[in-house]
Amino acid sequence: FTSIAETTEPPLLLSMLSEYLETMSGIIMKHQGVVGEFIGDGIMAWWNVPWELEDDTHSAFIAALEQKQKLAELRPYWQQRGLPEIHARMGIARGTVLAGNIGSVNRMKFGLVGDSVNLASRLENMCK
């Protein structure tokens, strides 16, 4: 994403990023995932918190596969508009996490911490 940001005009970049995040987060929510936060062009999402799902792992994998498919469909559309290609990496891990309000008195958010969260981040990073 950094190279795209360096070579794309800010209004165009923001439009493309908004379209990407809207589409990808919609797929996550369609499959009962929670969009926890956007980190630049990244999305931190989770399943099975705050409500329990019967098949959370399956839902996460189906969402990831659908995101990859949707990106492949969007690339020609973006290319016609003169925009660069976007590729996404996913890191999926299953395990116990600490979920709740994280932060300080002045700034707080609902989030997750734990080894599984770190593992998912490392797996995503290995997909480069």
Structural contact between residues 116 and 97, judged by C-beta atoms closer than 8 angstroms: yes
Amino acid at 23: T
Return d(Cα 70, Cα 127) in angstroms, integer: 18
Going by C-alpha positions, the residue among 119, 128, 44, 122 that lies closest to residue 87 is: 128
Q: Find residue 39's DSSP bridge partners.
A: 42
Return d(Cα 30, Cα 8) in angstroms, integer: 30
pLDDT in tens, the chain (128 residues): 777 888 888 888 898 999 999 999 999 999 999 999 999 899 999 999 988 999 999 999 999 999 999 999 999 998 998 888 888 999 999 999 999 999 999 999 999 999 999 999 999 999 98
**How many residues can be counted in the chain?**
128
pTM: 0.91
